[in-house]
Chain A
């Protein structure tokens, strides 16, 4: 069974540009979440999607957005890039069979991440 696939793995952008990152979850997984990892802040939650609906959102500015498609694939977009957006962006999927979060006890399966460098 293929794991979580993130593309691109590495990218370099300049301030003011925008970027789109893609995530393909494990087949059958309907929940996809995104995290930003930086050395000083650890993992910061961005958002979570379930069946094309955003279910949770972290404390990030509106420049950060995401969406999920009917096949569960997800994209996140960062507009007007800032130097501080340089980070490893991790996508994770989980086997959330039910729409009720409390029933979802499964662990997260992470991709290898997209490393964004903003110059």
Chain B
């Protein structure tokens, strides 16, 4: 069955330090992979996506993610965290092999950047 796992409910990082939010997936075919961010009482906002091509994708607000097919991972990274990056982050996959192509979201990781 298709699934997305975000193994950490919360990640704490000091401002200025690099951050990583982990995501692994399980799909039956090639995936389209996405990261979204949610601020309090708001909807989700798109950060970046991997469709094909270069395994390292760059997105909004200085975030980037690396697609690793052998490890079925798509970790979100940023070289230097800001307090304003504190939010809830969701990884999502669109499974092209399932026949439904619907989005599957992870349970979210709360990022807390400490000043």
B108 touches A42 (CB 8 A): yes
Residues of chain B at interface, number, CB under 8 A: 22
B49 touches A105 (CB 8 A): yes
A102, CB-defined interface residue at 8 Å: yes
Q: Of B41, B42, B106, which is within 8 A of A42 by CB? A: B106
The residue among B41, B44, B96 with the most chain A CB atoms within 10 A of its own CB is: B44
The residue among A43, A101, A113 with the most chain B CB atoms within 10 A of its own CB is: A43
Query: Which residue in chain A gives the minimum CB-CB distance to B41?
Result: A112
Chain B 47-80 interface 0/1 with A at a Cβ cutoff of 8 Å (1 = within): 0010100000000000000000000000000000
Chain B 95-115 interface 0/1 with A at a Cβ cutoff of 8 Å (1 = within): 010001111111110000000
Query: Which residue in chain A gives the minimum CB-CB distance to B97?
Result: A102
* Nearest Cβ on chain A to B38's Cβ, whole angstroms: 8
Band of interface residues on A? 20 to 34
Give the docked Cα–Cα distance between A24 and B43 (Å): 14
Q: Of B36, B46, B51, B102, which is within 8 A of A48 by CB? A: B102
B101 touches A102 (CB 8 A): yes
A66, CB-defined interface residue at 8 Å: no
Residues of B within 8 A of A35 (CB): 105
A64, CB-defined interface residue at 8 Å: no
B34, CB-defined interface residue at 8 Å: yes
Give the docked Cα–Cα distance between A90 and B88 (Å): 15
Which positions 1-56 of chain A face chain B at CB distance < 8 Å?
Answer: 4, 33, 35, 41-43, 45, 48, 56
The residue among B36, B41, B101, B106 with the most chain A CB atoms within 10 A of its own CB is: B101
**Chain B residues engaging chain A, CB cutoff 8 angstroms:** 32, 34, 36, 41-46, 49, 51, 90, 96, 100-108
- Could you list 17 A-B pairs, sorted by A, with CB under 8 Å? A33-B103, A41-B107, A43-B105, A45-B103, A45-B104, A45-B105, A58-B102, A90-B43, A102-B101, A105-B32, A107-B46, A108-B44, A108-B103, A110-B36, A112-B41, A112-B42, A112-B43
